[in-house]
Structure 1
């Protein structure tokens, strides 16, 4: 595909009537009928979620009750999530699975069964493929907990529909890729609170012991007043999939979803949101504004992604966080958060490197090792425990705030403008999800943002 310079900060990447074998699926039709043509791991959907639907009440469970899990999106991330849940939880089973590519589900279940034995009990008629795969799981009254590991652009709709169906949810991060999706997430959070269903998200650092302890110490004043911080998520690259012969534009973009902003949100949202979430946690909430820049040097032909961004976030109390993310092959990696206080400095590293606090003279006063593997599992134990004890955990808005913080930085970098949190939450009309979409449809040629040309919407 040739590169173009069409700004991708538009209200929708697809316009006009798109149809396959009949009428086009439109946002208006979706919202009036509740019909969504959506697939599991890489679904196509008509629009944003149904608003105003009455959520179903959750099913009550005893402390020792058997919990039936379902996985929607059976790629690498989804397989990892269900493996973590089956590994740490007792008296649970994988009872259903959905993915756009239904023909691979049998092998996936066989592989999981080799690890987990009878915890994997998916009947052949509970393996769903195709554009309506996820809905079959949400309609199944035997399913208690649904794990979503689909492309992020679908997350707001999927989770809202799951909450409406009375399901408990594990949702991978990010939870949204634009302000329109953020507003849907807030509604879903409120519905989950009302009908007492849990939503736990894939922000594993919130359950990693060295993060928890370090941030507790920060909030207790271990480095005095927090003045500023730096945060980095710099890595060496990301996967890219070659278009298969015969694929439509929609099929290809969903297949190679990382490289299309309506699906991934770019690196800052899809990957680097972990550091942004940690900073929001430390600072007590989202920032007031973002101002940034970045660009692209190494992305493949046809990708909409940038490969670097540098954002200055201003937090309440006139505290500035300098944030940087990039994916550039052969460049030096760094995944760390450094918090500067009036009495010392705290450094919290990513993965397993741990955390430390030093005084103003550079002397170490505290440190702790990290264990990210345990954190990945703990989020799933907390979810299942919350279902059994009747004390729902609902953290969807918390993660939506961090996801929108990432989007805020991307909007600032893409447009070259200073963008406020208030604008993004209350005024922005940015909605990247296509107005009309089906699996066989054509879409405009992909394009990357150019500051000064890309408009702030």
Structure 2
């Protein structure tokens, strides 16, 4: 593998020398301080901008081919590939990386995208370091980071270092250390003029956009409070194949380990939490929560229900609930109460409505989730071609940490503030040195009153 001219550690050392009062962009370094590097410092960290796409003259941007590499070719990885190839012209899938060679069969299933798939076997990378081959590949312009969430913060920084444009699935972090890393990557991407679009597709779903625009314009009056729910049935669980080490198995069965998924509230329900932050104009001031587990398999660290009261500026409360319990009634909704009316925004394709306080409908619009999934990829590629790359990582990291705030409050049984989590918390779930052949501590689920606030 070709080495980059500046190693990660050299860049950290340079950054520390330039600003000894600040911290480097590693998660371990971020634990030393709650502050985040400024965009100005990031700009001085040695980043250089590369030509965003290749294959045509600069003035003929519509004919430039954007070459895509994907890290993590599972459900969301294959979904992102299909969405991008479906909606974009002059894009080409050229490289893949995954822990399992068996995932590369997707190439045969993509034959319908004639001329948009050209993955040579030499660019199918297997193993935990496979992503590095994609980041070092000069023929990859855009990287999809669709591996388990725990890996995402560090991979994001490395992708920005490599001068790549990025699509990163949600959540972008599962702990405060990862959040600070994401903010560093966001600032560097803006300086580097490389795009980062994230998998918060509801921000591009037309009924969400219009409903929230109307809320912000005052159609329901002043926001008083609201409820948001992401309640569904069970989630997959993978039995342990013979011969897998602890670490290999946890990555294989990643949903059930908090260092990798962040639990349901962070991995899945972040969509609703992101919607609420969007509506409220930013994160909450504090969270107080509870929950538990009734149906999870032995060995899973996940809870199967969490309820949180989030307090937003102005002493406005949003009551949040998520659960994954078989046989229960599902609900995926965001209800915002105003002094003049009520806005209800449903997940998936259910649409959105605004009524007055007496229940008379004032406005409604259907939803189209499939179009939103595709639109985020079109917006990403269009921004690259226009030379105005979208960088939206900070907002998604903020929503990811809001979900983490609720999880931490529920796990510990404490009233936890945003200030504590962003500026004082030392919580860092990811192993300092990841060894796929290593053992892992015995899985242990949180118990309020016993689980400590860190």
After TM superposition, the score normalised by the length of structure 2 is 0.89
The answer as to 2:228 corresponding to 1:236 is no
- The secondary structure found in structure 1 opposite 2:174 is coil
Gaps of 5+ in 1: 1-28, 35-46
CA distance in 2, matches of 1:274, 1:293: 20
Which sits farther off after the overlay, 434-443 or 57-66? 57-66
Task: Tell me by how many angstroms 1:68 deviates.
Answer: 0.5
The answer as to 2:18 corresponding to 1:59 is no
The answer as to 2:400 corresponding to 1:408 is no
Task: Tell me by how many angstroms 1:117 deviates.
Answer: 1.9
- The secondary structure found in structure 2 opposite 1:377 is helix
- The secondary structure found in structure 1 opposite 2:224 is strand
Residue from 319, 324, 336 that aligns with 2:321: 324
Change in Cα spacing, 1:31 to 1:235, as seen in structure 2 (3 Å) is farther
CA distance in 1, matches of 2:50, 2:231: 41
User: 1:45-444 to 2 correspondence within 5 Å?
Assistant: 48=27, 54-61=46-53, 62=58, 63-64=61-62, 65-105=64-104, 107-113=105-111, 115-444=112-441
User: Contact conserved, 1:296 with 1:308, CA < 8 A, in 2?
Assistant: yes
Change in Cα spacing, 1:443 to 1:33, as seen in structure 2 (3 Å) is farther
Partner of 1:18: none
CA distance in 2, matches of 1:183, 1:369: 37
User: Contact conserved, 2:27 with 2:428, CA < 8 A, in 1?
Assistant: no
Task: Tell me by how many angstroms 1:138 deviates.
Answer: 0.3
Cα root mean square deviation, aligned = 1.6
Task: Tell me by how many angstroms 1:91 deviates.
Answer: 0.7
Task: Tell me by how many angstroms 1:141 deviates.
Answer: 1.0
> Looking at both structures, which has the greater relative contact order when contacts are Cα pairs under 8 Å and sequence separation is at least 6?
1
Task: Tell me by how many angstroms 1:437 deviates.
Answer: 2.6
Task: Tell me by how many angstroms 1:333 deviates.
Answer: 0.3
Task: Tell me by how many angstroms 1:49 deviates.
Answer: 8.6
User: Contact conserved, 2:95 with 2:123, CA < 8 A, in 1?
Assistant: yes
- The secondary structure found in structure 2 opposite 1:118 is coil
CA distance in 1, matches of 2:108, 2:46: 38
CA distance in 2, matches of 1:232, 1:188: 30
Task: Tell me by how many angstroms 1:32 deviates.
Answer: 6.8
Task: Tell me by how many angstroms 1:33 deviates.
Answer: 9.5
User: Contact conserved, 1:232 with 1:334, CA < 8 A, in 2?
Assistant: yes
User: Contact conserved, 1:352 with 1:371, CA < 8 A, in 2?
Assistant: yes
CA distance in 2, matches of 1:126, 1:210: 40
CA distance in 1, matches of 2:155, 2:433: 18
After TM superposition, the score normalised by the length of structure 1 is 0.89
- The secondary structure found in structure 1 opposite 2:234 is coil
Task: Tell me by how many angstroms 1:158 deviates.
Answer: 0.6
Gaps of 5+ in 2: 1-6, 13-25, 31-41
Task: Tell me by how many angstroms 1:434 deviates.
Answer: 1.4
User: Contact conserved, 1:49 with 1:156, CA < 8 A, in 2?
Assistant: no
Change in Cα spacing, 1:414 to 1:127, as seen in structure 2 (3 Å) is same
User: Contact conserved, 1:103 with 1:129, CA < 8 A, in 2?
Assistant: no
Describe the superposition over 1:424-447 as per-residue Cα deviations: whole angstroms up to 9, x where unpaired.
000000000113330110111000
Describe the superposition over 1:14-55 as per-residue Cα deviations: whole angstroms up to 9, x where unpaired.
xxxxxxxxxxxxxxx985799xxxxxxxxxxxx749997533
